[in-house]
């Protein structure tokens, strides 16, 4: 449920609750929401280890003894060696089980900080201050953490729910335009998860609507056991493969935009949807000012091999596909059909 924060109506902060029993937490969305951070951290925490990156530049006050730990920029930073380094620096700071890690940044920082917090001392509390559009609408919420291996994206990770998430829309002002566009790729996904008209909403309401959708899914299937949470990965099977194959030259949300149209064309080939539905996918993606061409030189064979290693792939190639009953996790898709659709989209 989206509710204006009764404590701060003047600030226009929207508060959403992630309902997970004793691990429930709030997500605050709106301009100036980061001012609420200190009050959302565990009262026991005396120290806060703030994990961030140099370009982020968002200042926060945890109300505790705080130390800032910079991590490298870019997808390559999501590695086990960076996690080891972070944990060693936490130990050097004297971070205890009662303390808190605060990730301040985009999805790279929140994935890294969340993972490090989940394994340091077998788990310390983490809060996220999401500073990119992509992290606000998706990455910072729901407790999935992870790092990459050379073999693929997010192949090592944990479920570790944060104690709070802040989506301060003021921090988006300094975001490079390409990063904003990447966030819109993830927003486009929500249009197929039942949240329509995002493009016409004020930014804080658009972010809150995406968060509300993700919160509902996570609340119903925290650990992706019923298959419902996997639907949040719509467009992501090809997206992750494009990122891995392109050594992350393509941004995550840019890759999701291509993945959404690919998934629609694949569903059309499998006669699950009609041409009009494919066109709707193309229009939604274009409406968010994103392209859906495959990167030049994409190899169908390489992409299919990488997609075979996707975490969802339990029985052959597995995709979330649109169909007569909405989105559905679809295992055992014929690689030849996938290759044909990729070829149609320009893969060699």
Catalytic residues: 122, 144, 186, 214, 224, 229, 233, 236, 240, 252
DSSP bridge partners of 158:
145
Q: Binding-site residue total for ligand NAD (CB under 6 A)?
A: 29
**Residue, CB closest to ligand NAD:** 107
Residues 54-73 contacting ligand NAD, CB under 6 A = 55-58, 73
Tell the smallest beta-carbon distance from residue 11 to ligand NAD (Å). 19
Residue of 47, 64, 78, 189 interacting with ligand NAD (CB under 6 A):
78
Least distance in Å: CB of 181 to ligand NAD?
10
> Which of residues 161, 171, 298, 318 is near ligand NAD by CB under 6 A?
171
Q: How far apart are CA 267 and CA 34, in angstroms?
A: 42
Q: Is 254 in the site for ligand NAD (CB under 6 A)?
A: no
Cβ atoms of 116 and 156 within 8 Å: the answer is: no
Q: Which string of x and - marks every residue 122-161 that binds ligand NAD (by CB under 6 A)? A: ---------xx-xx--xx--x-x---------x-------
Min dist. Cβ of residue 61 to ligand NAD (A): 17
Residue closer to ligand NAD (CB basis): 125 or 175 = 175
Nearest-angstrom CA–CA distance, 87 and 287? 42
Asked if 105 interacts with ligand NAD (CB under 6 A), we say yes
The first and second tokens of residue 143, run together, are 């407790």
For residues 272 and 313, which CB has a smaller minimum distance to ligand NAD in the complex? 313
Site string for ligand NAD, 286-325 (x = CB under 6 A): ----------------------------------------
**Among 75, 204, 224, 322, interactor with ligand NAD by CB under 6 A:** 75
The residue (of 222 and 268) whose beta carbon lies closer to ligand NAD is 222
Closer of 115 and 262 to ligand NAD (Cβ): 115
* Residues in Cβ contact with 30 at an 8 Å cutoff, skipping those fewer than 6 apart: 5, 11, 12, 13, 14, 167, 168, 169, 204, 208
Name the minimum Å distance from CB 332 to ligand NAD: 25
**Counting contacts by CB under 6 A, is residue 245 touching ligand NAD?**
no
Stretch that binds ligand NAD, among 32-40, 43-51, 99-107, 263-271 (CB under 6 A): 99-107
**Between 135 and 217, whose beta carbon lies closer to ligand NAD?**
135
Angle, to 10 degrees, between the axis of helix 252-269 and the axis of helix 275-287?
170
SS3 for the chain, per residue?
A: CCEECCCCHHHCCEEEEECCHHHCEEEEECCCHHHHHHHHCCCCCCEEEEEECCCCCCCCCCCCEEEEEECCCCHHHCCHHHHHHHHHHHHHHCCCCCCEEEEEECHHHHHHHHHHHHHHHHCCEEEEEECCHHHHHHHCCCCEEEEEECCEEEEEEEECCCCEEEECHHHHHHCCHHHHHHHHHHHHHHCCCCCCCHHHCCHHHHHHHHHHHHHHHHHHCCCCCCCCHHHHHCCHHHHHHHHHHCCCCCCHHHHHHHHHHHHHHHHHHCCCCCHHHHHHHHHHHHHCCCCCCCCCCCCHHHHHHHHHCCCCCCCCEEEEECCCCCCEEEEEECHHHHHHHHHHCCCC
User: What is the contact mask toward ligand NAD in residues 184 to 223, using x (rule: CB under 6 A)?
Assistant: ----------------------------------------
Question: Residues interacting with ligand NAD, by CB under 6 A?
Answer: 53, 55-58, 73, 75, 78, 105-109, 111, 131-132, 134-135, 138-139, 142, 144, 154, 171, 174-175, 179, 182, 252
């Amino acid at each position: 449920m989206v509710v204006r924060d009764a404590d701060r109506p003047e600030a226009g902060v929207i508060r959403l609750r992630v309902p997970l029993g004793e691990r429930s937490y709030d997500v605050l969305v709106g301009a100036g929401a980061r001012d609420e951070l200190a009050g959302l951290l565990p009262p026991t925490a005396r120290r806060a280890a703030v994990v961030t990156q140099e370009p982020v530049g968002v200042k926060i006050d945890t109300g505790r003894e705080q130390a800032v730990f910079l991590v490298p920029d870019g997808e390559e930073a999501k590695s086990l060696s960076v996690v080891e380094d972070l944990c060693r620096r936490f130990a050097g700071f004297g971070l205890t089980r009662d303390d808190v890690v605060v990730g301040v940044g985009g999805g790279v920082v929140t994935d890294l900080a969340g993972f490090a917090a989940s394994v340091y001392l077998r788990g310390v509390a983490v809060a996220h201050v999401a500073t990119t559009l992509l992290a606000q609408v998706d990455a910072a919420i729901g407790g999935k953490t992870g790092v990459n291996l050379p073999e693929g994206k997010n192949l090592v990770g944990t479920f570790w729910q944060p104690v709070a998430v802040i989506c301060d829309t003021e921090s988006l002002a300094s975001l490079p335009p390409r990063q904003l566009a990447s966030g819109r790729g993830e927003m486009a996904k929500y249009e197929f998860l039942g949240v329509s008209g995002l493009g016409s909403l004020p930014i804080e309401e658009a972010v809150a609507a995406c968060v509300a959708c993700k919160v509902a899914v996570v609340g119903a299937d925290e650990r992706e056991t019923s298959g419902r949470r996997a639907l949040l990965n719509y467009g992501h099977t090809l997206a992750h493969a494009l990122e891995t194959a392109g050594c992350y030259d393509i941004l995550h949300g840019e890759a999701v935009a291509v993945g959404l149209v690919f998934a629609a064309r694949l569903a059309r080939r499998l006669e699950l949807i009609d041409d009009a539905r494919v066109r709707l996918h193309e229009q939604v993606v274009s409406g968010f000012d994103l392209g859906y061409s495959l990167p030049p030189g994409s190899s169908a064979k390489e992409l299919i091999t990488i997609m075979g290693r996707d975490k969802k792939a339990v029985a052959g190639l597995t995709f979330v596909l649109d169909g007569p009953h909405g989105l559905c996790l679809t295992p055992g898709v014929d690689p030849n059909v996938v290759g044909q659709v990729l070829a149609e989209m320009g893969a060699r």
